[in-house]
Amino acid sequence: MSEDMSRRCFLKSGLLVLAVAITPGALVLMNVSPGAAAPATPFRPHAFVELDADGSVTVWVGQTDLGQGTHTGMAMIIADEMDADWNRVRVRTALAAEPFKDPEWGMQATGGSTSIRHRWDMLRKAGAAARLMLVQAAARQWGVDPAACTTAAGQVRHPDGRSLGYGELAARAAALRVPADPLLKNPADYAVIGTLRRRLDMEDKVQGRTAFGFDFRVPGMCTAVLAHPPRFGARPLSVDADAARQVRGVLDVIPVGDAVAVCAESTWSALQGRDALKINWSEGSHPNLNDEAVNAELLAKLDGPAAVAEDAGNAAEALFAAATVVESVYAVPYVAHAQLEPTNCTAHVEKDRCRIWAPTQGQTAAQDEGVRLCGLPPEKVEVMTTPCGGGFGRRGEIEVVTEAVTLSKALRRPVKVVWTRGDEFAHDVFRPASICRIRGGLDGDGSLVAWSHRLVASSIMSRLWPSAVQNGLDPTSVEGVEGMPYSVPNRRIEYAIPDLPIPVGWLRSVGNSYNCFTVESFVDELAHAAGKDPVEFRLGLMEKDSRSHRTLSLLAEKAGWGGPVPAGRGRGVAVTQCFGSSVAQMAEVSVDGRTGVITVHRVVCAVDCGPAVYPDAIVAQMEGGVVMGLSIALHERVKFAKGGVATSGFSQYRLLGMKEAPAVEVFIAESRHPVGGIGEPGLPPIAPAVANAVFAVTGVRLRELPFSRDALKTAVA
Amino acid sequence: MISLKVNGTVHEVDADPGTPLLWVLRDNLGLTSVKYGCGEGMCGVCTVLVDGRAERSCVTTVESVQGSEILTIEGLPADHPVKAAWTELQVPQCGYCQTGMMLQAVDVLTARPDLPDGEMAAAMDSVACRCGSHPRVIPAMRQAAGKMKEEKP
Ligand code: FES
Ligand code: FES
């Protein structure tokens, strides 16, 4: 588990502790070992790397591991540059603190597949600096030139063959200055990066020892479950809590914002107490909202004013002059995160201190909320990130922090707030629904000359960071259309925000999750209209030898594209470039004409994510992205009725089951590119790859998610 | 007082007879490896073995399992072939669903170790995993099945 480093590192001696301070415009590595010179900055940093006298290495991280294997990957980078003995490396989660803020974002958060790609240099430097200091300490002890010493597996070797373990050198190294620019390894010398390692959290997870936020306990704690408004904008008009208070174990019933909390000695008591509440809710802001109304509003915005995201050449003229024009409308629904560990947070507010334990992806946001609610300075608000049962963007939200801190303040004791599955669906911040109309123009040779794209989707930034929305344009809503890997001389991308009260938020790959479906399906429609092979057509639109070109070529080779396809099956491909990586996927499917059921038999995936730090985690993220993307493509749709969310549980929201999951063959490209993200880019291509494969085998073009069995049944029959 | 035998130990717990086993295991006995995911029998992350069979503890009352042998992941030997295969193939991502997933796998492999892949997948279909660990589950079960056979010829 985790501990407060600031206390620890000043209590122990004989160990080397390196920290990172983020100063405006620079990252500064520093030695905060006990006895070493005090750092020259006003920060009181938490450590990054800690080498104990017994030779064990602790890597302290501020990033959230939601299952991506990030913690192990980060430790692997430091260990490799340090030449540490991997068997003596462990990783620990630190309290939220300045040094763990994202060097590019200036806040501590996990999202955008950035944990490693924003820290690649920093982590390598931290490891390399520690190594150099240990070499210097050994060289001094031996009276030899440091350059003559070598390191491997936690030891410094003397030219004559003698060696000293890192642990023996820790105290001496701790007295040295941190080199500002330690020499980094030649990638050919990596011994840990790029290898298969046991994930550091694997044993605990398999033995059931990992305590997630939902499992967190602190002495004196009570558990709270809240009745949240059943409709958008609704408030409790009256609350009859008599029956709830009668439930055995219920301690109190307390309003929190527009919700009503039942606090109890146990989770079951709190749940029963909530069921016993009688609340008269106001009708809310949009009492007539339902699926039809949502759809009508999205459709209405397909025409009329819009923001222009991109305007190159003259798409309107080029379409007018084109030999062939293809036009299609695509639609995708709202999608829920459905991470299996529901939202939760434990808080303990005392006079001079607020402690927050949460499975959070937004440490700085959680800390800020504690500051706001308690009126304490940031250093008195401690945010401890617990292990997370998935997240996918959901855990960047802080409403549950507000609830837990508010309740702990009111009750003067630690309170754990847990959400139920019903709360999770009713109050998610959904992946936006979107409708788009695309027009593409081909010239007489079948070359793509024009692309005109109008898309409608609720804006995430308008809720979270309004200043990022300029002239009605939320850049995250159009990502994947803007930045598609194809060069088209005449392009126009327009975007309109619908007037809907449904909250939207980050969900694994964000705009790419729906824009890749529409763009990559439409590229297939264009290839068909041009009479060209879908892979050839795509490659022809890409800059030769570009990252996407190479990734798609690798996919085609590994999948045996163009080779024989088993009878009754079809193949489709799709490509994405996002989060600093490029991914191409091929799906091989069959369709049962009687039932309309699509079976995905095989998925092949090629990924270029720069240096492959932790290949098994890359494979796992590609597999996971394919499964989640396929689940979204085949099953998922959040429904709305009577002014609120109608979907209330997994009985109405099916996730992809084991028997529907295809085998996924993953190929990692030899890359010449900088390190990229892996958590998100595996998701976008699978839906269009499947749709394109369905078209190949049935001639039916699927333009709506989730894919409709009825439409396929009718069309195939 | 309800008497429950969990992982070989008998516990007397002060709970209403209708309380779901899930909450008694978690809140009264501190066995938080048994997860809450939906509370309505739909996701399988609360799975425990009751007399060797996988059951959803969120829809099982404590009263109904008095006198039964209840097994959670803590009670499964640390070197059990299923745990070993899960570790070696690195099946878990976040891990939240995996304790239930493994116990379901133990039930399936004990009762029907020779199922073909498709049927084995169907037998695992009712445990949800949002991270998408799916592609590793059947290979891990195959590996575990091989070892379980060796151990019990
Ligand atoms: S929590 Fe029991 S099946 Fe979901
Ligand atoms: S591993 Fe995360 S839900 Fe299955």
Give the whole-angstrom CA distance, residue A241 versus residue A472.
45
Per-residue pLDDT of A298-318, as tens digits, reads 999 999 999 999 999 999 999
The answer to whether the CB atoms of B40 and A651 lie below 8 A apart is: yes
Query: Under an 8 A CB cutoff, do A266 and B23 touch?
Result: yes
Among chain B residues, CA nearest to A210: B33
Q: Give the CB-side neighbour count of residue A563, counting CA atoms within 13 A.
A: 9
Q: Tell me whether residues A342 and B37 touch, CB distance under 8 A.
A: yes
Judged by DSSP in three states, B11 sits in: strand
The pLDDT, as a whole number, for residue A13 is: 60
| Whether the CB of B96 sits within 6 Å of ligand 1 | no
Partners of residue B102 in chain A, C-beta under 8 Å: 206
**What's the Cα-to-Cα distance from A118 to each of A60, A408, A518, B92, B109, rounded to whole Å?**
16, 35, 29, 25, 44
B130: which chain A residues are within 8 Å (Cβ-Cβ)? 337-340, 390, 392, 628, 655
CA of A383 to the centre of ligand 1 (A): 29
B146 CA to chain A: closest CA distance, Å? Answer: 19
- B residues 100..119 contacting A (CB < 8 A): 102, 118
End-to-end CA distance of chain A: 58
| Preceding peptide of A485 cis, ω within 30° | no
Neighbours of A281 (CB within 10 A): 18
Query: Which residues of chain B are within 8 Å of residue A246 when distances are taken between CB atoms?
Result: none
Question: How remote is the CA of residue B50 from the centroid of ligand 1, in Å?
Answer: 15
Q: What is the pLDDT of residue A38?
A: 47
Q: Is the CB of B50 under 6 A from ligand 2?
A: no
The alpha carbon of B32 and the centre of ligand 2 are apart by a number of angstroms equal to 16
Separation CA B132–CA A42 (nearest Å): 44
Nearest one of A312, A682, A684, A673 to A487, comparing CA atoms: A312
Nearest to A340 among B30, B33, B130 (CB): B130
Cα of A92 to ligand 2 centre, how many Å? 21
Q: Ligand 2 center to residue B132 CA distance, Å? A: 7
Give the list of residues 6+ apart from residue B110 with CB closer than 8 angstroms, or none. Answer: B52, B148
Instruction: Kindly give the interhelix angle for A70-82 and A120-142, rounded to the nearest 10 degrees.
Output: 30
Which residues are paired to A381 by β-bridges?
A: A354
Cβ–Cβ pairs < 8 A, chains A and B: 172
Reduced to 3 states (helix: H, G, I; strand: E, B; else coil), residue A665 is strand
Can you name the CATH fold of A213-283+343-418?
Answer: Aldehyde Oxidoreductase; domain 4 (3.30.365)
Q: Which two tokens stand for residue B92?
A: 């878990």
User: Could you give all domains of chain B from N- to C-terminal order, each with its CATH number?
Assistant: 2-75 (3.10.20.30), 81-151 (1.10.150.120)
CB of B99 closer than 6 angstroms to any ligand 2 atom: no
Among the partner-chain residues B16, B96, B121, the one whose CB lies closest to the CB of A390 is B96
Q: Is the pTM of this model over 0.90?
A: yes
CATH number of A292-334+430-716: 3.30.365.10
Residues of chain A with pLDDT below 50 are: 1-11, 37-44
* Subunit contact B132:A625, Cβ cutoff 8 A: yes
Helical H segments across A560-708, by residue range: 615-634, 686-698
- Cα angle value A641/A644/A650 (rounded, 5°): 80
B64 to each of A342, B33, B38, B126, how far by Cα in Å? 27, 21, 20, 22
| CB-CB under 8 Å, A67 with B93 | yes
Residue A1: the pLDDT is: 34
* Cβ neighbours of residue A38 closer than 8 Å, sequence gap 6 or more: none
| Ligand 1 pocket check for B122: Cβ under 6 Å | no
Q: Work out the minimum CA distance from B81 to partner chain A, whole angstroms.
A: 12
Point out the residue among A199, A623, A650 whose CB comes nearest to the CB of B132: A623
Q: Name chain A contacts of B72, Cβ cutoff 8 Å.
A: 208
Q: Quick check: B11 contacting A, CB < 8 Å? A: no
C-alpha A439/C-alpha A444 separation (Å) is 16
Q: Which residues from chain B sit within 8 angstroms of residue A212, using beta carbons?
A: 32, 35, 96
CB A641, CB A290: distance < 8 Å: yes
Report the residue of chain B nearest A664, measured CA to CA.
B135
Q: Which atom of ligand 2 is nearest to the CA of A389?
A: 2
Q: Which amino acid is at A309?
A: A
Distance between CA A151 and CA B129 in Å, rounded?
A: 43
- Residue B132's closest chain A neighbor by CA? A624
pLDDT tens-digit series, residues B101-112? 999 999 999 999
Would you call A206 and B96 a contact, using CB atoms and an 8 Å cutoff?
Answer: no
DSSP B26: I
Q: Which amino acid is at A522?
A: F
Contact A390 B134 (CB under 8 A): no
Q: Where in chain A is the domain with CATH 3.30.365.10?
A: 16-203, 213-283+343-418, 292-334+430-716
Ligand nearest to the Cα of B44, by number? 1
Give the ipTM of the model, two decimals please.
0.98
> What pLDDT is recorded for position A4?
39
Fold of A16-203: Aldehyde Oxidoreductase; domain 4 (3.30.365)
Give yes or no for a contact between A527 and A572, defined as CB atoms under 8 angstroms apart.
no
Torsion sign (Cα): A192, A193, A196, A199:
positive
Q: Residues 15-54, chain B: which have Cβ within 8 Å of A?
A: 16, 19-20, 23-24, 26-28, 30, 32-33, 35-40, 42-43, 45
Cβ(B98) – ligand 2 distance below 6 Å: yes
Report which ligand 1 atom has the smallest distance to the Cα of B46: 2
Q: Which ligand is nearest to the CA of B96?
A: 2
DSSP labels, A365-431: HHHHHHHHHH---GGGEEEEEPP-S--TTGGG--HHHHHHHHHHHHHTS-EEEE--HHHHHHT--BB
Query: CB–CB of A17/A133 below 8 Å?
Result: no
Question: Which tens digit of pLDDT belongs to each residue from A335-372?
Answer: 999 999 999 999 999 999 999 999 999 999 999 999 99
Q: What is the DSSP letter of B27?
A: I
Phi and psi at residue A5, in whole multiples of 5°? -65, -35
pLDDT of B27 higher than 60: yes
* % helix, strand, coil for chain B, step of 5: 40, 15, 40
pLDDT of residue A210: 97
Which candidate in A70, A205, A654 is best for mutational testing of the B interface (most B CBs within 10 A)? Answer: A205
For residue A30, what pLDDT is reported? 76
